[in-house]
Amino acid sequence: MATTTTRLIILAALVATAGCAKKRPDVLPPAPVDTTQTDPNAGQPTGPVGGEIVPGSQQDFLRSVSSDTVLFGLDMYDIDPQARAILDTQAQWLQGYPNVRITIEGHADERGTREYNLALGDRRANAAKNYLAARGVNAGRITTISYGKERPAALGSDEASWAQNRRAVTVTVGG
């Protein structure tokens, strides 16, 4: 009797697993498409070619602006006169390259909670974005991201290190 019961259990398991087997579709999906030619950044400058700096690239941006980094005071996200001067050079460069997109990264020092620093980094990045937009840069070209205290520029638990970490950094996309 145990063998009959065992056989019935095995037969039921086989029927159940056969019903779950994945069946081959009648029509196969198309092969992957090569998207290297449809890249939205195709034709965008990407960097040095043969040692030359390509106009519109990240290297050109760094060479042309006074800085890619705006610093902030403790728990602050306002654009001070020094930050204005830096962002003015960035706005001028960006107006010369209307197809270049940028990302502004917001950062904070290590003090405070992770959540607080992410929110503060976001406010810093958006303050820089809003300033550039007010200077005529299309806001649709600018994305922002906050890294909070996760990507320090300077390691150390002192005021000099913290001052370097309270920042917004402008990076060209694809460059």
109-141 residue pLDDT tens: 999 999 999 999 999 999 999 999 999 999 999
12-51 residue pLDDT tens: 766 666 555 555 555 555 555 544 444 444 445 554 556 7
- What's residue 36's pLDDT? 44
- What's residue 26's pLDDT? 56
Amino acid (one-letter) located at 158: D
Per-residue confidence band for 3, with pLDDT thresholds at 50, 70 and 90: confident
d(CA 64, CA 98): 15
pLDDT of residue 82 exceeding 80 = yes
Classify 137 as helix, strand or coil: coil
Amino acid (one-letter) located at 108: A
Question: Phi and psi dihedrals of 122, rounded to 5?
Answer: -65, -45
Nearest to 90 by CA among 59, 121, 69: 69
Task: Name the residue with higher pLDDT: 20 or 91.
Answer: 91
Nearest to 55 by CA among 96, 103, 102: 96
55-72 residue pLDDT tens: 999 999 999 999 999 999
135-152 residue pLDDT tens: 999 999 999 999 999 999
**Domain-by-domain residue ranges, the chain?**
54-172
Mean pLDDT of the chain: 84
CATH of region 54-172: 3.30.1330.60
- What's residue 17's pLDDT? 61
d(CA 104, CA 143): 6
CA torsion angle for 72, 74, 77, 81 (degrees, to 10)?
-40
